[in-house]
Amino acid sequence: MYDYRYEPHRLIFMIDNKSFFASCEALRLGLNPMEACLAVVSRQPDSCWGSGLIMAASPLAKKKYGLHNVMRVRQLPPKWKAPDLKLVEPHMNLYIKRSIQVLDIFRKYAANEDIHMYSIDEGIIDMTDSWRLFGNDPYYVARRIQKDIHDTLGLYTTCGIGENPLLAKLAMDNSAKHKKSMLAFWHYLDVPDTIWKIEKLEDVWGINTRTANRLRKIGINNMYDLAHSKPYLLKKEFGIIGEQLLAESWGVDRSIIRQKYHPKSKSYGNSQVLTRDYFNQREIELVIREIGEQVAARIRAHNLRAGKVSLYIGFSLFQLAGTTKRGGFGVQRKITPTNINHDLVKELIALFRENWHRESVRTISVSYTDLSPDGTQQLNMLEDFDLQIKRYKLDHIVDQIRKEHGFTSLVKASSLLKGATAIERSNLVGGHNGGNAYE
């Protein structure tokens, strides 16, 4: 199907910090990450442990007690059945610091443009031009990087090696993680003995449960079936994604890490899943205001202003019978480009009031698009110029204070929602701990 002679033949390392959050916590407590029985639990302030969500678990905890991410603490075995299981709260600043330190180690082995941090605990390194500086064998060089990270930070890592990023990722996920050496090298010529042997479609990077179920409906049950399916059938069912799935089944990936993708349109946003259902308009608008101001601070930090605001409101799954047939609503509006909190939040609140019909709210998402450089602030001819300039300057002063002391260190009084205390605002939004920032 594919002639590998014409495909990129590079040397890619995909490196993953094993059980990263749990390992960082184990090391913080002076424990060996591979021998500690530990789970990192996220919970709302002043709530009971049973309502907490497991963010990460150490390898031993997973093996002994069957722990997995996103399960609830109340699902854990009782203390008398798991006396050695430690539950600890997350320390995100620590994880970010360790991730940066791992990146600094990567930079010792490759140029910055040949490194891509895939996530907080995974990185891809194109070693094509540099691996020979550190050894005569790719396995040796990979082991050297693993040892460097362990000796410096105490973290254990798995490494998949491949001739392209896809092969490296699949080698890491489906082979290296199951080896004592925590190393695996997949080549193009190994595809029949590696990728085609993967029985479960969901075990493949980029294939989620929904896509796997659609594939099964057309008779494709594993990666061998996918590799030998009719291209026109995949194209008919999935469009261009079908072509990508076929290429993946043959281990083909033509992306080059140093050729960074720059999207034509960028957006900044944040979403919040609330801890309970909200019916009170004042409380909901308070959360919208907090998220809107947080995203506004981010676009100001990049010297940008927004020409469009978008708001998504997701309703609770539990609705009184007959009250609504909607699962939520998403709306957007073009505005005069600005990055002033007052102007952006005013539009968000207006959108909410125009489209909300007293449904119970569980999810709120805000994003700003149509971004342009913040050269000179465009003033509204219908408002007082001095007042607009004061707002502009005040927002930047507040940004600086929050940058130095944390976002929740300063809570501004609301002109629209009077009487809200700092504690009330923090409890409603959860201090943004539960938010999902995206851009």
User: Alpha carbon of 164 to those of 113, 171, 260: distances in Å?
Assistant: 16, 11, 15
One of 122, 285, 290, 347 is an active-site residue; which one?
122
Active-site annotation holds for 439: no
Phi then psi for residue 137, to 5 deg, are: -145, 135
Other C-beta atoms lying within 10 Å of the C-beta of residue 160 = 28
- Please give the positions annotated as active site: 122
